Amino acid sequence: MFAGMATAQTPEAKLKEMNIELFKPSAPMANYVRAVRTGNLIYLSGHGPTRADGTNITGKVGRDLTTEQGYDAAKQTGIALLSTLKAEIGDLSKVKRIVKVLGMVNCTDNFTEQPKVINGFSDLMVAVFGDKGKHARSAVGMNALPSNIAVEIEIIVELE
């Protein structure tokens, strides 16, 4: 290799460099599947901020959690989504683009920093996939989310 030339890192190598470990996704909570593939698109169902041990980050942002804690919950949700995505496709290098993101924040009525919270997810995707991680996005507030999770995110991913 020539001096000064950088090698392209795989998404898995970037995750390892960030000390992020993916985990085996749990079964869905109800009568649905975690992912559906059609053509070169994969639609991932809404995921919450599930940790490897199966516990979730819960609470309402603006009351129980700060914006920064919400950001961390969105990042954890990204880790959960990547865990499911890897389980579905085997190799994250197959990702051509994170296309669309719907980020839902369990928050108080007067909380208005939903985009700052969902940045926890978006920043992770760009760190892992570079420009392929940049996506169209909605970040909205919700009165409640299942099991009082702090954040729920669903994504559409284009595969090579």
The percent of the chain in helix, strand and coil, each rounded to the nearest 5, is 35, 30, 35
Q: Is residue 117 part of a domain?
A: yes
CATH of the domain at 70: 3.30.1330.40
Domains in the chain: how many in total? 1
Instruction: List, for residues 35-47, the tens digit of each pLDDT value.
Output: 999 999 999 999 9
Q: Is residue 20 part of a domain?
A: no
Instruction: List, for residues 12-71, the tens digit of each pLDDT value.
Output: 999 999 999 999 998 888 999 999 999 999 999 999 999 999 999 999 999 999 999 999
Identify the domain containing residue 154 by its residue range: 32-159
**What is the pLDDT, as a whole number, of residue 5?**
45
* pTM of the full structure: 0.94
Degrees (nearest 5) of the Cα angle 97, 102, 105?
135
**Residue 2: pLDDT band by 50, 70, 90 thresholds?**
very low
